[in-house]
């Protein structure tokens, strides 16, 4: 399956996060993800480890991020915790290979999406540890799934996410191919949702009707399905087609948000700045783009990955990474609990945008942890000719290329700096290619002072001793059209927003036996600064503010854009801004404002019109 891939990821211990990437992972480990087994019953007392609580997707979701985080940080306590869970899961695997925690008579009604997920997690664990028990456990579990599907067809989540099983199946097939594995791949494809057909006849061009939940417009299923076609085609040894590109363009055309993702609260919700999008959808779309980058080599997937990682992901998780939202909004002026009839969300509850332990539903609580660790593994990629820079992140790696020991390091504060330095060191002279990525949207780019064109600069050289390469690019901040005649600002991979000062009101309580207590409590956020503005002349001055501080800290954004805004009449109801202002005529003098990266905001205005006196100039 992987032989045809353009790139191969490096995993820990070969790969090491550095700089802000390391700090982000450390914050995650010190926050909710690193402590979920101590504070959340669905992990602490899970059915997967013999407890009475949830025995389906939550432990596998959590381990999927927790394991790579533990090994990237090389943290012995976290590794010991992951080992404990994997040992408990392996020890409970049944004689016939069944690996999920349910009794034999419950199996026909058990949604085996969780079985796909745990097999995928076991592969992640193997990649970090090379534990010899894993291959046999995955073999037995997948064989059991293939027998199960002959009599119990896929339904619900298993049918929507059938392709996830191809990840462990492809891994196993590459190691020891057997005929039944090909048959299982076909069975999954035939019993699962045909996304190719769905997008050929795409009926979902409007927001989902309020209150009508649907598997086919479900934002997480759609984020995941972007990897379906490439997984199936590469398993079958066929060329990867353009399904993902076409499907994503369709989703963005009708439901796109400034963050480069589509809305879904939790089904497709259109382009309004009040539409929400779910955290699980963000991390699953990132994971799709990571696969697509490696499978196709298309740099567009690295750009899309960075868009989500540098904007949507940090914005919807608090700076201390103890709390998160279920749904984030482009224009989010207050995050307070709303009654069902007052929520702007189509099928999510009125608490979906508060920051908390498990607002609306606990899937994101378990699943969000995969975002940062998997991103780190997309930075330094092995190509058939040498080494390629994928997502631009501070990381280093030690590897062997044609019997030569190679150390490769990316030194950067990007996306808060406009460039990066590569350090490469070999233990003996060796010839291979280093492929440098230039992010999309760079007005110009230079490698060691020489101007380069396009998204890649490939250096095929004989590398000897220690070398350094300097990559510099230039970005311009520009207004981009978004919804009706409203705009947002983007500079390189970063979307900028007007930050609204937030008062965090702590809420500690127990509901259904789940305790919210500081630091894993809920918060409502109320605005303490004005937000009712329109853009003025559309000119932006880029400034560095707090270089070297935590990457996505809402108290200390590292960079800003200075601009002029005009106050306008823009009403709000129940803490939700109207879709647009009631008039574009300024109601007071212009103000000098600082826009900050969307990912460094808690409350914000992102999508705004241009005020009346300037409309002709834009």
Which residues lie near Zn ion (CB under 5 A)? 280, 363-364
How far is the C-alpha of 490 from the C-alpha of 156, rounded, in Å? Answer: 38
CA–CA dist 29, 34 (Å, integer) = 4
> Which letter does DSSP use for residue 208 in this model?
P
387 exposed, middle or buried (CB, 10 Å; 0-12, 13-18, 19+)?
buried
Total Cβ atoms within 10 A of residue 618: 14
| Residue 219: CB minimum distance to Zn ion, A | 9
Q: Nearer to Zn ion by C-beta: 372 or 420?
A: 372
**Distance (Å, whole) CA 154 – CA 148:** 10
Please identify, using beta-carbon distances, which residue of 478 and 511 lies nearer to Zn ion: 511
- Smallest separation (angstroms) from Zn ion to the CB of 118: 18
Cβ proximity to Zn ion, 362 vs 557, nearer residue: 362
* C-alpha to C-alpha distance for 211 and 349, rounded to whole angstroms: 10
User: Residue 322 or 533: which CB sits closer to Zn ion?
Assistant: 322
Helix axes 58-73, 113-129, angle to 10 degrees: 10
**Residue closer to Zn ion, measured from CB, 281 or 586:** 281
Q: How far apart are the first and last CA of the chain?
A: 49
Token pair for 193 = 């949702």
Phi/psi at 72 (nearest 5 deg)?
-65, -35
Among all residues, whose Cβ is closest to Zn ion?
280
Q: Say how far apart CA 316 and CA 580 lie, in whole Å.
A: 23
**Least gap, CB of 326 to Zn ion (angstroms):** 6
Q: Residue 223, class by beta-carbon neighbours within 10 Å (0-12 exposed, 13-18 middle, 19+ buried)?
A: buried
The residue (of 365 and 563) whose beta carbon lies closer to Zn ion is 365
Least Å distance, CB 265 to Zn ion, is 11
- Least CB distance from residue 355 to Zn ion, whole Å? 14
Nearer CB in complex with Zn ion: 364/392 = 364
CB of 363 to Zn ion, least distance (A): 3
Q: How far is the CB of 365 from Zn ion (least distance, A)?
A: 8
Q: Report the DSSP pairing between strands 327-329 and 276-278.
A: antiparallel
Of 226 and 363, the one with the shorter C-beta distance to Zn ion is 363
User: Which residue in this structure is represented by tokens 């298309």?
Assistant: 298
Query: Cα(123)–Cα(126) distance, rounded to whole angstroms?
Result: 5
- The answer to whether 597 touches 559, Cβ cutoff 8 Å, is yes
- The candidate with the shortest Cα–Cα distance to 479, out of 329, 610, 361, 348, is 610
121 vs 363, which CB is nearer to Zn ion?
A: 363
Shortest distance, position 57 Cβ to Zn ion, whole Å: 10
| Least separation in angstroms between CB 602 and Zn ion | 19
């Amino acid at each position: 399956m992987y032989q045809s891939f353009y790139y191969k990821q490096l995993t820990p211990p070969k790969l090491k996060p550095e700089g802000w990437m390391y700090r982000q992972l450390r914050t995650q480990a010190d926050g909710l993800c690193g402590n979920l087994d101590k504070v959340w019953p669905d992990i602490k007392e899970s059915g997967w480890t013999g407890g009475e609580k949830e025995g389906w997707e939550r432990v596998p979701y959590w381990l999927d991020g927790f394991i790579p985080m533990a090994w990237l940080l090389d943290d012995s306590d976290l590794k010991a915790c992951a080992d404990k869970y994997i040992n408990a899961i392996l020890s409970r695997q049944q004689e016939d290979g069944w690996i999920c925690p349910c009794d034999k008579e419950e199996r026909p009604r058990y949604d085996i999406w969780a079985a796909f997920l745990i097999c995928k997690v076991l592969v992640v664990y193997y990649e970090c540890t090379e534990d010899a028990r894993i291959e046999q456990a995955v073999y037995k579990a997948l064989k059991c799934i293939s027998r199960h599907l002959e009599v119990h067809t896929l339904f619900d989540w298993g049918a929507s996410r059938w392709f996830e099983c191809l990840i462990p199946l492809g891994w196993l097939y590459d190691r020891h191919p057997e005929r039944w594995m090909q048959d299982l791949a076909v069975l999954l494809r035939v019993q699962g949702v045909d996304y190719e057909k769905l997008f050929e006849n795409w009926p979902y061009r409007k927001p989902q009707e309020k209150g009508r939940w649907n598997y086919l417009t479900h934002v997480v299923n759609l984020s995941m399905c972007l990897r379906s076609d490439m997984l199936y085609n590469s398993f079958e040894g066929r060329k990867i087609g353009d399904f993902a590109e076409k499907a994503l363009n369709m989703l963005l055309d009708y439901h796109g948000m400034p963050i480069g993702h589509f809305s879904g609260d939790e089904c497709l919700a259109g382009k309004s700045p009040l539409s929400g999008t779910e955290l699980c959808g963000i991390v699953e779309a990132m994971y799709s783009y990571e696969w697509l980058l490696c499978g196709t080599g298309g740099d567009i997937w690295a750009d899309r990955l960075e868009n989500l990682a540098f904007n949507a992901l940090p914005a919807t998780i608090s700076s201390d990474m103890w709390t998160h939202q279920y749904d984030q909004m482009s224009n989010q002026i207050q995050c307070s609990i709303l009654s069902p009839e007052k929520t702007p969300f189509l099928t999510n509850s009125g608490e979906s945008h508060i920051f908390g332990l498990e607002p609306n539903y606990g899937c994101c609580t378990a699943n969000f942890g995969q975002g940062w660790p998997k991103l780190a593994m997309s930075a330094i990629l092995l190509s058939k000719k040498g080494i390629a820079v994928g997502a631009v992140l501070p990381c280093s790696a030690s590897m062997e290329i044609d019997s030569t020991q190679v150390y490769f390091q990316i030194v950067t504060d990007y996306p808060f700096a406009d460039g990066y330095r590569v350090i490469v060191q070999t233990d003996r002279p060796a010839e291979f290619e280093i492929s440098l990525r230039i992010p999309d949207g760079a007005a110009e780019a230079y490698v060691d002072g020489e101007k380069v064109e396009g998204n890649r600069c490939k250096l095929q050289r004989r590398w000897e001793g220690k070398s350094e390469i300097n990559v510099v690019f230039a970005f311009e901040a520009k207004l981009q059209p978004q919804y009706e005649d409203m705009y947002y600002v983007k500079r390189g991979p970063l979307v900028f927003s007007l930050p609204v000062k937030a008062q965090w009101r702590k809420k500690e309580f127990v509901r259904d036996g789940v305790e919210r207590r500081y630091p894993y409590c809920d918060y409502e956020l109320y605005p303490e600064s004005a937000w009712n503005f329109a853009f003025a002349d559309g000119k932006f001055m880029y400034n560095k503010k707090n270089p070297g501080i935590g990457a996505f800290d809402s108290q200390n954004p590292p960079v800003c854009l200075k601009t002029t805004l005009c106050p306008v009449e823009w009403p709000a109801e129940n803490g939700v801004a109207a879709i647009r202002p009631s008039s574009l005529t300024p109601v007071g003098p212009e103000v000098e404002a600082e826009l900050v990266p969307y990912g460094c905001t808690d409350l914000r205005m992102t999508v705004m019109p241009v005020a009346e006196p300037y409309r002709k100039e834009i």
